[in-house]
Amino acid sequence: MNILITNDDGIYAEGLWALYKRFAKKHSVTVIAPDRERSAVGHGITLDEPLRVRKFERDDGYLGYAVSGTPVDCIKLGVVEMLDSCPDMVVSGINPGANVGVNINYSGTVCAAKEAALYGIPAIAVSIQGNQSDNYSDAAIFIEKLTMKIFKKGLPFGTFLNVNIPNIPMDKVAGIRISRHANKLYSEYFKKGVDPRNREYYWQGCDNQTFDKDLDIDGAALGENFISITPIKCDATDYSIIDDLKGWGISEIDFLQKL
Amino acid sequence: MNILITNDDGIYAEGLWALYKRFAKKHSVTVIAPDRERSAVGHGITLDEPLRVRKFERDDGYLGYAVSGTPVDCIKLGVVEMLDSCPDMVVSGINPGANVGVNINYSGTVCAAKEAALYGIPAIAVSIQGNQSDNYSDAAIFIEKLTMKIFKKGLPFGTFLNVNIPNIPMDKVAGIRISRHANKLYSEYFKKGVDPRNREYYWQGCDNQTFDKDLDIDGAALGENFISITPIKCDATDYSIIDDLKGWGISEIDFLQKL
């Protein structure tokens, strides 16, 4: 397979190269990743300025391309401009820090996979619990096996998989859960402070996410040492309320005439 | 009602103040908006640096707060820190330029409304066709009427409305369509160039979006001079394939043991 790998932690990140190392054994792999950390940039893209692409070579000889943009820019640049043909699969990660619940909105790692799904390319976003990990290579073995399964079975156009892996050796993992993503914001706060120039600032922080004790929820499954796999779709239309909305009378021309 | 207004075009944008002017007649309105244009930042948030908040007063006496962050930062800062109570409604816009189809992923205007919906606050994102408009005040009248309807009828937790308005006087509007959002990427390209220092760059551009001739699709309805109202939900789980995925055998412990 032709695999495109990216992330939001930037081209130097260990999790990215764990994927590269595993996939390069059997596949043709291209790494196109941000030239620096671009966490929490969501589905942002760079329109107001040009992008720069720099060939990147590690000391161990691994090769990639560092891009001055966001993770979604990396997917666009790869698919539209740099690659000779559309990749068979996009793998985004391995992100240190779980991307469960509402974090799928903020995460550049997840949004890169979503962008691939918009092109109709099978895609996975992969994250591992915690800020650092000794378990990237185990996780990469699992992910490669999962991509083989996806390649065989297929995913619907516009749907990708968001995978979260507990930060433990693979033989300690409790199992794998096909889950839904939790949809409640966690407890947040702003730390108000004064800078050295006596100007006020607000710095956002949050408590750990908590989840209902339901192993069908991504964060809850992960919390019990399961690998969580959530299918995410790009079509965000809330079909369940379309008929209700039509019943509101707002789609009558009358509603406009009475303005 | 207590209304929170934001946008992604920044605190100086005309469309923002058209909303303010209309809503301030009958409601308590707070404007919290980015201090500069932050288009296409998606659901990005600012974690690595503090946010600054500056009181902003226009020549005509209108008041607001300019924030050094993204549209989603503005919602968080308003809801978590600055406002005495949770707003009854969030209105994001009026964005010059339609936000139909896949653009809902990139648009900071749309993502601000989505962030409000994550808090369970009724929310609308509003965009008008074209890069500039003489029809903001007409659009604001319509939007205020729509918010009254939402306030009466309610929206499900985690669902908001994405509204796109044709750039014509309201009495020329063909009608209102409750629509689904189109989910296909438009034709994109990268313009490759060389800068004054002889370094290569890539600058992304795209052709106009085209839509199937189906007035149930947001962009198609807008193209025929209808106002398009699309309900968007935050829960992105693709429930339709959960059973399929369970049938793949990947959730068996066996799959892990064979790694």
Q: What is the pLDDT of residues A61-117, one digit of tens each?
A: 999 999 999 999 999 999 999 999 999 999 999 999 999 999 999 999 999 999 999
Whether A23 is in a domain gets the answer yes
Whether B190 is in a domain gets the answer no
Which of A99, A104, A107, A108 is closest to A130 using CA atoms?
Answer: A99
pLDDT digits (tens, 9 = 90+) for B167-202: 999 999 999 999 999 987 889 999 999 999 999 999
**What DSSP state is assigned to residue B208?**
P
Cβ B142–A256 below 8 Å, yes or no?
A: yes
Chain B residues near residue A77 by CB distance under 8 angstroms = 190, 202, 204
How far from each other are the two terminal CA atoms of chain A, in whole angstroms?
57
Chain A residues near residue B239 by CB distance under 8 angstroms = 180
Whether A201 is in a domain gets the answer no
Chain B residue with CA closest to A158: the answer is B183
- Domains identified in chain B, total number: 1
Whether B179 is in a domain gets the answer yes
Whether A205 is in a domain gets the answer no
More confident residue, B253 or A75: A75
- The token pair at A37 is 């950390």
Q: Coil, strand, or helix at residue B181?
A: coil
How far does the CA of residue B101 sit from the closest CA of chain A (Å)? 9
Whether A169 is in a domain gets the answer yes
Is the CB of residue B126 less than 8 Å from the CB of residue B92? Answer: yes
CATH number of domain containing A141: 3.40.1210.10
Whether B124 is in a domain gets the answer yes
Question: Model's pTM, two decimal places?
Answer: 0.97
- Optimal mutation site among B121, B238, B244, B253, interface A, most CBs of chain A within 10 A: B238
pLDDT for res A185: 80
Is the CB of residue B211 less than 8 Å from the CB of residue B220? Answer: yes
User: Could you check whether the bond before residue B242 is cis, i.e. omega within 30 degrees of 0?
Assistant: no
ipTM topping 0.90: yes
CA distance linking residue A127 with residue A141, whole number of Å: 14
Instruction: Name the amino acid, one letter, at A24.
Output: A
Chain B residues near residue A190 by CB distance under 8 angstroms = 51, 76-77, 80-81
The minimal CB distance from B42 to the residues A43, A118, A184 is found for A43
> φ, ψ for residue B222 (rounded to 5)?
-60, -40
Is the CB of residue A139 less than 8 Å from the CB of residue A96? Answer: no
Cβ B231–A245 below 8 Å, yes or no?
A: yes
Chain B residues near residue A196 by CB distance under 8 angstroms = none
Is the CB of residue A41 less than 8 Å from the CB of residue A8? Answer: yes
Instruction: Name the amino acid, one letter, at B111.
Output: C
Domain that holds residue A239: 2-183+211-257
Whether A206 is in a domain gets the answer no
- Neighbouring-strand partners of residue A165: A128
The minimal CB distance from B233 to the residues A42, A118, A238 is found for A238
CA distance linking residue A163 with residue A99, whole number of Å: 8
How far does the CA of residue B185 sit from the closest CA of chain A (Å)? 6
